[in-house]
Homo-oligomer: A and B are copies of this chain.
Amino acid sequence: MSASATHAPSEGKATVAIASDHAGPELKAVIAAQLREAGFPVLDLGTDGAASVDYPTFADAVAAALADGRAGLGVLICGTGIGISIAANRHRHVRAALCHSPTDARLTRLHNDANVLVLGARTTGIEVAKDCVATFFSTEFEGGRHARRVAMLG
Interface set of A (CB-CB < 8 Å, partner B): 52, 54-57, 79-80, 82-83, 85-87, 89-90, 92, 95-101, 103-104, 107-108, 111-112, 114, 120, 123, 145, 148-149, 152-153
Contacts and interface: CB of A to CB of B under 8 A. Distances in A.
B97 A86 contact: yes
A152 B107 CA distance: 30
A86 B112 contact: yes
29 contacts: A54-B148, A55-B149, A56-B152, A79-B107, A80-B103, A80-B107, A80-B108, A80-B111, A82-B97, A82-B104, A82-B107, A82-B108, A82-B112, A82-B114, A83-B108, A83-B149, A83-B153, A85-B98, A86-B96, A86-B112, A86-B153, A87-B153, A89-B89, A90-B90, A98-B98, A100-B100, A100-B123, A103-B123, A104-B123
A152 B54 contact: yes
A150 B100 CA distance: 23
A92 B87 CA distance: 9
The complex is assembled from copies of this chain, and their number is 2
A101 B82 CA distance: 12
Contacts of A87: 152-153
Given A83-B108, A104-B80, A114-B82, A54 B149 contact: yes
Contacts of A90: 89-90, 92, 153
Contacts of A55: 149
Nearest to A149: B54
B79 A85 contact: no
